[in-house]
Amino acid sequence: MKILLVGGGGREHALAWKIAQSPLVDTVFAAPGNPGIARHASCVDISVDSHDELVAFARRERIDLTVVGPEVPLVAGLADRLAAAGLVVFGPSARAAAIEGSKVFAKNLMLRHGIPTAQFSTFDEPTHARRYCRDVGAPLVVKADGLAAGKGAIVCRTLEEADAAIAECMERRAFGTSGARVVVEELMVGQEVSFFVLANGHDAMPLAAAEDHKAVFDGDRGPNTGGMGCYSPVAVFDDALEKRVMEGIVRPTLTALAREGAAYRGVLFAGLMLTAQGPKVVEFNCRFGDPECQALVVRAPGDLVPLLLAAARGEAWPPAHPWPHVASVCVCVASGGYPGKYATGLPIRGVEAAEARPDVQVFHAGTATREGRLVTAGGRVLGVTAVAENLTNAMASAYSAVREIFFDGMHYRTDIGRRGVRAEAPPRR
């Protein structure tokens, strides 16, 4: 089989690494890929936004399966374009990807179908949004409707903060047209878990859960990032809770989408809050998380490709392999200054030494090659990922690999996985 992987970050490196191990696969192309992905795939210089070129490439190369990594091309309709050209694609149509592309769509879908989520109201007038905030009182959360690179949800402890958030989204348009409409919702309290399932249009297959660490500094301090690391599994997300989420959230959501003419094929990422009243949806995403994907693939049993194919073609799932009782930790190594301004082009040392450790993969997120040397090319540079028989050992292994790596100004959190270690029970899926 020939596979085309669309994207060029850490998530796509993890997918390329896993896909290339499949005995079904002869060739993997990645567009645009990165120097890490280039070890498993032929990288072609096409951006994820060049839909015409991607479709033409996939047709010319007779690609058997295109796997779309990031949300932006999915929300913009890349899967529809590929499908219309007669190609098989893993990733939802634009209508189904609206579950991430429009928070208003996602919240109204959940409301119509009784799927547990925070109480909310939607607005396209700042004065109405402000009046509602005064009526319900703080704390609350103001969210831009559209895609905002993970920065569009603003937790407001006071009405003044809510005022500022509404101004930022709706008046100053900090997120462009994404902030023209906002959702204002109740602040939920509890532990957050990211749960991933594959969907084939009507049925779901659970993968696993992970916990992301969004804040830049240890102890969840400092501004939010795209994710500074994560671990999997999450002890509290046990079999009973998984079943409850599958029956009460995932399956009803897929049924609702199918009923509304937007059957969902691909990976559905449910961001959940485990509240005192039970699990509730914080948000849905239409793709794998980054860095959750890195922590998932190193644990994932068997061949991923038959599962991706079944999801893409809308077919029955192949027999499931049980997830092994192992744990993983992914530590993101970031550029100095990230998530603010940072330099690029800085030489990176020690990746080979880090990877020489058993059960460690170094996934490239923001790297480039200049004159034959590996250099930094983004905010999050590398995702150092270790798998071990338990979280304590996975954490020790990931951090000893991180200490092999060096570039000017690099920084990383030193506590990725610690919360999980405290709660560690025998590892499970």
Positions in the binding site for ligand AMP (CB under 6 A): 118, 141, 143, 152-153, 155, 185-188, 192, 271, 282-283
Q: Cβ of residue 369: shortest distance to ligand AMP, in angstroms?
A: 33
Please say which residue, 18 or 213, places its beta carbon nearer to ligand AMP: 213
Q: Cβ of residue 223: shortest distance to ligand AMP, in angstroms?
A: 12
Asked whether the beta carbons of 201 and 141 are under 8 A apart, the reply is no
**Strand 27-32 to strand 2-7: parallel, antiparallel, or no bridges (unpaired)?**
parallel
Q: Cβ of residue 183: shortest distance to ligand AMP, in angstroms?
A: 9
Q: Cβ of residue 83: shortest distance to ligand AMP, in angstroms?
A: 28
Please say which residue, 71 or 404, places its beta carbon nearer to ligand AMP: 71
Please say which residue, 118 or 263, places its beta carbon nearer to ligand AMP: 118
Q: Cβ of residue 285: shortest distance to ligand AMP, in angstroms?
A: 8
Whose tokens are 């059960």? That residue is 359
Please say which residue, 25 or 162, places its beta carbon nearer to ligand AMP: 162
Q: Cβ of residue 108: shortest distance to ligand AMP, in angstroms?
A: 15
Please say which residue, 185 or 203, places its beta carbon nearer to ligand AMP: 185
Q: At a CB cut-off of 8 Å and minimum separation 6, what does 234 contact?
A: 193, 209, 210, 211, 420
Q: Cβ of residue 189: shortest distance to ligand AMP, in angstroms?
A: 7
Which residue's C-beta sits nearest to ligand AMP?
A: 153
Q: At a CB cut-off of 8 Å and minimum separation 6, what does 61 contact?
A: 2, 4, 29
CA-based nearest residue to 117, from 349, 284, 287: 284
Whose tokens are 């462009």? That residue is 176
* Cα 104 from Cα 106, distance rounded (Å): 6
Amino acid at 338: Y
Cα dist. 284→37, 106, 193, 255, 364 in Å?
27, 8, 12, 15, 25
Asked whether the beta carbons of 79 and 15 are under 8 A apart, the reply is no
What is the number of helices (H) and of strands (E) in the chain?
15, 21
Please say which residue, 10 or 226, places its beta carbon nearer to ligand AMP: 226
Whose tokens are 């809510």? That residue is 162
Please say which residue, 181 or 428, places its beta carbon nearer to ligand AMP: 181
Q: ∠ CA(135), CA(141), CA(142), 5° rounding?
A: 90
221 sits in which H/E element: strand 221-224
Please say which residue, 215 or 258, places its beta carbon nearer to ligand AMP: 215
3-state helix, strand, coil in the chain (%, to 5): 35, 30, 40
Q: Cβ of residue 144: shortest distance to ligand AMP, in angstroms?
A: 9
Asked whether the beta carbons of 203 and 254 are under 8 A apart, the reply is yes
Q: Cβ of residue 63: shortest distance to ligand AMP, in angstroms?
A: 32
DSSP secondary structure string for all residues of 77-109: THHHHHHHTT--EES--HHHHHHHH-HHHHHHH
Please say which residue, 283 or 292, places its beta carbon nearer to ligand AMP: 283
Give the distance, in angstroms, between the CA of residue 296 and the centroid of all CA atoms in the same chain: 11
Please say which residue, 80 or 185, places its beta carbon nearer to ligand AMP: 185
